Structure 1
Amino acid sequence: MQTLVGWHIEMEFQEAGAHTSAVAMLRLGDGTELRARGDTSRHPSDPEQLRVGEEIAAARALNDLASQLLTKAHGEIQEVSPVPTHPLS
């Protein structure tokens, strides 16, 4: 029998001039909350495209979130396994 598991990621953006930041929050089934941030700045000569800034900032926040998940999983494996593991990056 398969078990369906779902996670929801909340993403918020803040824009100030040419700077865009994104904050991602993931709540796991074990109660852990992971938060990550991504930032980007538009070059002054580039056209204003808010959506593009949001996409880049979000991608950077999600990349950080992925790294945190890998570190967490690695730590949990190390707690129960006598075999040395290496964190994925």
Structure 2
Amino acid sequence: MQTIVGWHVDVEFTEEAGRTRAACLVRLPDGSEMRAHGHARRHPDDREQQRIGEEIAAARCLNELSRALMRKAGGEIEAETHIPAHLAM
């Protein structure tokens, strides 16, 4: 099997006062970029574990990015076929 194209998703985090924010960016082969954001908040009774906040914020960010990619693909299908696209998540 030959790889034709590869995508790289960048995820950056900021942390402040028990809150973690993630910003995701993917550059697509058509030259467009898609961005998304996610967040996590540590419960005051929980121990501080940076990695867990990052994982939750990244999962939420990637989920938002996934939905945006589905909308983009659906719009492109509709533009080509002139038929409403119904893409399941």
Size of the aligned set, in residue pairs, is 89
Structure 1 unmatched ranges of 5 or more: none
* Cα pair distance change 1:3/1:46, threshold 3 Å: closer
The aligned residue for residue 85 of structure 1 is: 85
The aligned residue for residue 48 of structure 2 is: 48
Kindly, what percent of the aligned residue pairs are identical? Answer: 52
RMSD over equivalenced CA pairs, Å: 1.5
Query: Tell me, what secondary structure is at the counterpart of 1:51?
Result: helix
Q: What TM-score results when the alignment is normalised by the length of structure 2?
A: 0.92
Mapped partners of 1:49, 1:25: distance in 2: 24
Mapped partners of 2:82, 2:2: distance in 1: 29
Mapped partners of 1:39, 1:19: distance in 2: 7
Q: What TM-score results when the alignment is normalised by the length of structure 1?
A: 0.92
Task: Tell me the CA shift for residue 86 of structure 1.
Answer: 1.9
